[in-house]
Chain A
Amino acid sequence: MMSLLKQILKIPKNLTSNFLKPYSVQNLENVSESDIDKLYKVLELELRGNDSAVLRSFSKFAVTTGNHLNIECKSWSLKKPMHERYTVLKSVHVHKKHRVQYEIRTYFTFVQYKHLTGSTVDTLLEYIERNLPEGVSLKATKVELQNIPEHLTPPK
């Protein structure tokens, strides 16, 4: 129906977007800075966990999500984990020669998404954060793109 209307009024198809915004934008002057969609070059997720199998499954889930939402994504993981070792006294009192050693292994996995808009980033991050399994930590880094500010022009 919309395309028919556009044909009648002779509005080019690429002028308006097909995606509905939650509110309608009347004039350009009324649009505040917070309403405009930001652009992100890269969204990188750093996943840390104690079990490499869980991290592998989760990165698979993150990549399939990106593919369904038509986002360029890839994931990679470090083969070797980080070992945090503690050597403590075995006994409560005396017996210095007898110790016990504990170790915590942290595995790392990375997922990277390229070329996202602000609303896509918010939606994707919310979905991924809600489905984080127990024992896995997530660190999200966003690289935003902005226009060069108007005051950075050469002097006349």
Chain B
Amino acid sequence: QAKYKERGTVLAEDQLAQMSKQLDMFKTNLEEFASKHKQEIRKNPQFRVQFQDMCATIGVDPLASGKGFWSEMLGVGDFYYELGVQIVEVCLALKHRNGGLITLEELHQQVLKGRGKFAQDVSQDDLLRAIKKLKVLGNGFGIIPVGGTYLIQSVPAELNMDHTVVLQLAEKKGYVTVSEIKSSLKWETERAQQVLEHLLKEGMAWLDTQAAGDPQYWLPALFTELYSQEITPEEAKEAIP
């Protein structure tokens, strides 16, 4: 029995030694690749997408650790982790206005503004990948698909499928009413009202009772730059009934 046990240990030890050797070889291959194509990754967002997709296909996460080979040699890590910091800062700065919901477009614009003239340009795909990594910090980061783009959630508010589907409905005009929800989604009044009240409470929706017809629930996250003004936290509070 003891002999079999020993054998088992030896087998694993062998394989570990083999892996260690292969790792060294791989590291050399990666170094060679980096010396030729590191710039490509830095400058070409399509290449970054291709790279990420291929990694995902084979079961490798190049962004898992700053200590990983990919990060150390290709520099992909620093690019995305820094972007993560910038995303967190933008979301925090705008939270008083939009309750922690922001369109990917607006986030993109604001991040670019913050990065300044001499920084590397980033694509929307880059932002999404950085956000996916941020989720693990337990801060409520989420990505909600709406009408061809995405809403980015940056607060730990619970947004279930009912909330998401109402957000998607609101995306077309920037606001939604109870009757619209009832007719599009075939819900009862109470269900629609519950969802809207939750969004109001979280500060993600603002109520306009002066509209003709049904009261309108607006999403500040969907106001485009053309139609909104800078608003202070105090003004935001006064706007809520």
Q: Do A and B bind each other?
A: no
